[in-house]
């Protein structure tokens, strides 16, 4: 199974170059667009709870969407998210 964690939250990159790369390719910066880019090989996409994404559109593409808190300000958060991904 291929799992991806969204680098985007509310149409802004959390960190890193994702937003700049997407904008330079004239792709809307959103978690949904990231999932679309990976749709050919992606099984499960993890996005932040409350982020604007379309679970019905992802399901149509055969992608399972999991919404959870993806922010990792503490070691506890890092471990929590890693455990979730390993359980998938």
Digit-coded pLDDT (tens) for 34-75: 999 999 999 999 999 888 766 778 888 899 999 999 999 999
Per-residue pLDDT, 60: 86
Give the pTM. 0.88
Residues 6+ apart with CB under 8 A from 35: 4, 6, 42, 45, 47, 53, 58, 61, 63, 65
How far apart CA 88 and CA 23 sit, in angstroms, is 31
């Amino acid at each position: 199974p291929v799992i991806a964690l969204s680098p985007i939250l509310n149409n802004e990159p959390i960190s890193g170059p994702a937003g700049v790369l997407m904008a330079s390719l004239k792709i809307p910066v959103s978690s949904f667009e990231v999932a679309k880019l990976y749709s050919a090989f992606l099984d499960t996409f993890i996005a932040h709870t409350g982020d604007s994404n379309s679970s019905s559109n992802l399901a149509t593409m055969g992608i399972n969407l999991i919404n959870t808190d993806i922010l990792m300000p503490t070691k506890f958060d890092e471990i929590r998210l890693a455990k979730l991904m390993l359980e998938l």
